[in-house]
Structure 1
């Protein structure tokens, strides 16, 4: 090798890093990064309105069509295409001779232990998260989050459960399974990755207000630490899914019981 010229191995390593950087940018651009940008813009727009943020509202899982059957079809397709992005990320993580699902711990080999860990995380994250949302609403830092009504058709609850599963898989597989792997290969430190993904998670939920940013950033720190320690994304997917099922299905009940906190402004 002539002096001053990089070796083929060095050139290959450099090309791999460039490819990984572009891969991460493109994955974020079609998934959680895109949603985070729109979410931050939504909060910025809400802040510029004359109506205080505490008197504004946003809707979870809004209807896609006025007719119930078409609304269900559109919602189901939306969930399916979102899960296709999760499938793409898993495909990108696949390596010859080793399953990506095994590598990130998205399997049922230790489901009993994963379920127990998920229950603990649900208590640690879910209860304080609910209290933070209530406090943020009282302080006017969060918009009112309006959940889908449960009585419009029999398929509403199953679709909401699927939406919760979609959220759990999308956020945990991409934030943790994918970004932890790719950013680590690009030379990031573990705490740098945990902080960056937690910040992205907070931005992803910024449309709900400042309280949601703080709460989801804290959730990102806890989930990131747990994934680094356990090496399994399954308990985090289960915990996230259960938290969102409670939010999507239980929220209308909470709004009926405590309208001053949970019901949208008139």
Structure 2
């Protein structure tokens, strides 16, 4: 005899989301908060500090470094598998329900590219303004040693970031918090604030910019019910940031 799953209470639903965040982006938010406190309490101004991303672990041993990078990408995606597993307890087609599938590749790609264009330039302007006013660090977006696999790994890192953030922060949390009875505005705002908080390590420009991005992405998701375009947009933004920085950092002084 097959037993039907017992519906989770509101408290259980919220507790579940806290636990999922606790092993993923919520933990990143805590570390990010500590990072910004550390930067603010240093002698140098915030805009005189550099935040390094996508750094080599063993630059003198490229194959081991590659292994570190790939393992890090895979492990970072485990919370995504966990979130989808939990959603599938309620319905077997949970991936389809949140739009994390390939049913609409052309539409997802088109919407994602438009969204990336709409977010990219204002985001760059906000970063420049925040840095000019001393509210943000300099972001060194790619610091891998120069190898044949550098660009492919940076692209994979961008995809990993996009899948992790959009599936959990939008697809999973929006589903669970709505099931718990939260209003749509409360879900959108809470998710956006958490998104901003785990970018605090960059400075306050990163915090505000990602809250704005979270509000926009959340609003779009409530209309489309698909995380696919969000993943595309986020991937494009990160690929441009990571690969662009890696290719241009030795040619444009303002990047460093």
Q: TM-score, normalised by structure 1?
A: 0.89
Cα deviation, residue 137, structure 1: 1.9
Q: Aligned partners of 1:159 and 1:253: how far apart in 2? A: 14
Indicate the residue corresponding to 1:16 in structure 2.
9
SS in 2 for 1:232: coil
Indicate if the aligned counterparts of 1:150 and 1:157 stay in contact, CA closer than 8 A: no
- Inter-partner Cα distance in structure 1 for 2:143 and 2:189: 36
Q: 177, 184, 188: which is aligned to 1:183? A: 177
Structure 1 position 213 matched with structure 2 position 207: yes
Task: Give per-residue Cα distances to partners, 1:50-101, cap 9 Å, x unaligned.
Answer: 1111111111111122321111101100111111221111111114653111
Pick from 215, 225, 234: which aligns with 2:219? Answer: 225
Does residue 73 (structure 1) correspond to residue 61 (structure 2)? The answer is no
Q: Which runs of 4+ in 1 moved over 2 A?
A: 15-19, 95-98, 147-151, 252-258
2:26 aligned with 1:46, yes or no?
no
Q: Report the CA distance between 1:147 and its aligned residue.
A: 2.8
Bigger CA radius of gyration: 1
d(CA) in 1 for partners of 2:210, 2:227: 17
| Alignment partner of 2:139 out of 130, 142, 145 | 145
Deviation at 1:129, TM superposition (A): 0.8
Structure 1 unmatched runs, 5+: 1-11
Aligned to 2:3: none
CA RMSD across the alignment: 1.6
Q: What CA distance in whole angstroms lies between the structure 2 residues aligned with 1:148 and 1:70?
A: 18
Alignment pair present for 1:27 and 2:20: yes
Query: CA–CA distance in 1 between the matches of 2:128 and 2:11?
Result: 44
CA distance in 2, matches of 1:91, 1:208: 32
